Amino acid sequence: MAPVVRSRLYLVTEACSAPPAVAAVLETADVAALLITPSAGTPLDARAAKPLVALAQAKGVAALIEADAALARTLRADGAHVPWSKDVMARYGEAREILGGRFIVGADAGRFRHEAMGLGEAGADYVGFGIPRHVEDRDAACARRRELVAWWSEIFEVPCVAFDVDSVQDASELAAAGADFVALRMPAADDAAELARWAQDAAQALAVAENAA
């Protein structure tokens, strides 16, 4: 049976990524959103992020800023992503207050159903399930994430994003489980051909057989 696309790519990249490298991915794969994150240990560089926002929007891709709603508004991005934290509900509320209802505000509920339902009820544009960095048993966490994605997609209408996805194989399994979007971090590479091949692999991973889910 021919594959059908059940999930779309939610591309994650650091603000320091070269625009031509990001463009190589956006031109190859069906990308729904570009999440711009700070480089490790440094605050988000607004000057570096601005060209990526413009690039994404020019290609019809939603540009989101991680953890900084005020910067998202300043850069005229499409919205902000609230990463998982113990006070994610409060942080979501702060982001929504800054951005209002015209912008996208989504949040990562981590591994918790209660927070996911709370975010959905609060009006989050999407609810994510991820694996916090401190978790050591990654296999058990991956199984838990698939279970949460399947549970959410069966019951709720708010779109679901699978975060902290380590490989295209994981992406394929999450697509089959019902994730609306799968977040994959763009490789740290400058070669456009290499990035295009990676984007092709990612796109294929998100196309699952009609009877696979």
pLDDT tens-digit profile of 5-42? 579 999 999 999 999 999 999 999 999 999 999 988 78
Residue 211 pLDDT > 90, yes or no? no
Tell me phi and psi for residue 62, to 5 degrees: -70, 125
CATH code for the domain defined by 3-209: 3.20.20.70
CA distances (Å), origin 97, targets 70, 94, 164, 172: 10, 5, 27, 35
Q: Answer yes or no: are the C-beta atoms of 5 and 36 closer than 8 Å.
A: no
Q: Nearest-CA neighbor of 186 among 69, 20, 44, 46?
A: 20
> What pLDDT score does 159 carry?
98
| Residue where the block lists tokens 């991973």 | 205
Q: Which residues contact 143 (CB under 8 A, 6 or more apart)?
A: none
> What pLDDT score does 39 carry?
86
Q: Answer yes or no: are the C-beta atoms of 149 and 177 closer than 8 Å.
A: yes
Q: Considering the entire predicted model, what is its pTM?
A: 0.94
- Which residues on adjacent β-strands are paired with residue 107? 82, 127
Q: Answer yes or no: are the C-beta atoms of 17 and 189 closer than 8 Å.
A: no
Q: At 194, is the secondary structure helix, strand, or coil?
A: helix
Residue 82 pLDDT > 60, yes or no? yes
pLDDT tens-digit profile of 53-62? 999 999 999 9
> What pLDDT score does 6 carry?
72
Residue 212 pLDDT > 60, yes or no? no
pLDDT tens-digit profile of 123-176? 999 999 999 878 889 899 999 999 999 999 999 999 999 999 988 889 999 999
Residue 50 pLDDT > 60, yes or no? yes
> What pLDDT score does 210 carry?
46
> What pLDDT score does 115 carry?
97
Residue 52 pLDDT > 90, yes or no? yes
Mean pLDDT for all residues in the chain? 93
Q: How far apart are CA 175 and CA 170, in angstroms?
A: 9
What is the residue type of 32?
A
Q: Answer yes or no: are the C-beta atoms of 187 and 15 closer than 8 Å.
A: no
